[in-house]
Amino acid sequence: MAVLHFLENIRTPILDMFFSAVTYLGDEIVFLFLVLFCFWCIDKRLGYYLIIVGLAGILLNQSMKMIFQVPRPWVLDPSFTIVESARKTALGYSFPSGHTQCAFGAFGCLMMWTKNRLVRLLSMIALILVPFSRMYLGVHTPLDVSASCVLAALLLFTIYPICKAIDTKPSWLITAMIGVTILSVITVLFLCFFPFPKNIDTSCLLHAISSCSKLMGVAAALLLSAILDTRCLHFETTAKWYAQILKLMLGAVVALALKALLKIPLSVVRYENISDALRYFIIVLFAGTVWPLTFSFFSKLSITSKTEEKHDDAN
């Protein structure tokens, strides 16, 4: 709290705006965009790396929040004030930091995977600024963010060799996805049936169950997608830059449409968490299996355009 009080005393309106923007680099929307961009357009091995690190990290993060039940800084010390604009991203318990976990995992993957110096530099800056932003805004303590960094780092170094060897050892990917799927099931069962104390934050527990139920659907769909890809699909991500943009935009639009439209037919399912798990299973199965079936078209679109350019030059 002494660190947070120090940061509280040096706040300025400009710094408030800057770190309020920086902290969104740890938001799930940014993470999902990076996953889709890498999985569809850059290198599916990097996509799997991001997904596995992200899924395992969020599942462990949610479990730790419910196990330790550490209150937010302004609850620990009523004299402490936060930057109000950050309150809406600070739901539930404090330890460990979810935004830090997400950002450190995502940008850590990029930094470890690529040899591009600019990407590595920008990733390193994000790794530093996002955890600091959570403390500056007053929504997490140094212990919260440091624990998330350590957990994410352990996952980064553990999963890295598995994803690098996907082409030669596809069974490693399947094993990793089976492990993440089992972890998601165990996490949901733990959150649903563990005898937590009566004074637990019920809204936080329900949020954790809902989030992990969705992740269970995601993990199951990714496992099926990985099996299909390694055995029969073998899709490639290469295409010209304009074809990549078109691929990414169209795929994202369809995925978002599915996310919204599936709520209606799946509302017949009695339990909302099961409905959410099914909805995310279908969305991710589309992203991991159905949409990649179109990638050959986008590759041919690039080749066709190049051939037409040569033909025009010849004329």
The domain spans of the chain are 2-239
Q: What local confidence, expressed as pLDDT, does residue 215 receive?
A: 94
Return the pLDDT at 286.
95
Report whether 279 contacts 263 (CB < 8 A). Answer: yes
Q: Are 118 and 141 in contact (CB under 8 A)?
A: no
Q: State the SS3 of the chain.
A: CHHHHHHHHCCCHHHHHHHHHHHHHHCHHHHHHHHHHHHHHHCHHHHHHHHHHHHHHHHHHHHHHHHHCCCCHHHHCCCCCCCHHHHHHCCCCCCCCHHHHHHHHHHHHHHHHCCCHHHHHHHHHHHHHHHHHHHHCCCCCHHHHHHHHHHHHHHHHHHHHHHHCCCCCHHHHHHHHHHHHHHHHHHHHHHHHCCCCCCCCHHHHHHHHHHHHHHHHHHHHHHHHHHHHHHHHCCCCCCCHHHHHHHHHHHHHHHHHHHHHCHHHHCCCCCHHHHHHHHHHHHHHHHHHHHHHHHHHHHHHHHHHHHHHHHHHHC
What stretches in the chain show pLDDT beneath 70? 302-315
Give me the pLDDT at residue 198, please: 85
Quote the pTM value. Answer: 0.89
**Which of 95, 48, 58 has the alpha carbon at shortest distance from 216?**
58
CA atoms within a 13 Å half-sphere pointing along the CA-CB vector of 212: 30
